């Protein structure tokens, strides 16, 4: 599985996040479930086949910690963000998304709707 570096071009002061590129059903299904924590430097990028609100929804069942969830469209623009609380059954983005970045809650303030992101190999 490859890692990618995600940089927020609209927030040059923010640090890049290294995320595991997760484009298979099983990887997306498992997500961060059952892990004890997530490092502030790392994330998981869930990749959908196409933009959607329904397919880009996430659940927090079996999660042991809260996360920052950042929904991103095909143009690599942030369409929604939320502090996803452990054990909450469903989060749906405000707009269709192709990517969902799950990362440490400390990154929530680094992303806003409309921000332009860049993905590079890590």
Among 10-14, 70-74, 114-118, the minimum mean pLDDT is found in: 10-14
Q: Flag whether pLDDT at 21 surpasses 80.
A: yes
Residue 30 CA to chain centroid, in angstroms?
A: 14
Query: Would you say domain 3-121 falls under CATH 2.60.120.1140?
Result: yes
State the pLDDT at residue 94. 97
State the pLDDT at residue 32. 79
Compute the C-alpha angle 2/49/21, nearest 5°: 15
Q: What's the distance, Cα to Cα, between the start and end of the chain in Å?
A: 12
Among 21-35, 58-72, 88-102, 105-119, the minimum mean pLDDT is found in: 21-35
109: phi then psi, degrees, rounded to nearest 5: -70, -10
Mean pLDDT of 79-83: 98
Q: Flag whether pLDDT at 1 surpasses 80.
A: no
Q: What pTM was computed for the model?
A: 0.94
Mean pLDDT of 91-96: 98
Kindly tell me the burial class for residue 47, based on how many C-beta atoms sit within 10 Å of its own C-beta (0-12, 13-18, 19 or more): middle
Tokens of 102: 């799950």
Q: Where are the domains of the chain?
A: 3-121
């Amino acid at each position: 599985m490859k890692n990618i570096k995600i940089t927020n071009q609209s927030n040059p002061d923010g640090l890049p996040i290294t995320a595991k590129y997760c484009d298979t059903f099983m990887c997306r299904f498992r997500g961060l479930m059952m892990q004890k924590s997530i490092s502030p430097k790392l994330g998981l990028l869930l990749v959908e086949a196409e933009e959607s609100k329904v397919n880009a929804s996430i659940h927090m069942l079996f999660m042991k910690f809260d996360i920052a969830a950042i929904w991103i469209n095909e143009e690599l623009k942030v369409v929604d963000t939320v502090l996803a609380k452990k054990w909450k059954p469903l989060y749906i983005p405000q707009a269709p998304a192709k990517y969902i970045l799950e990362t440490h809650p400390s990154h929530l303030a680094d992303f806003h709707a409309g921000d332009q992101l860049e993905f590079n190999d890590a």
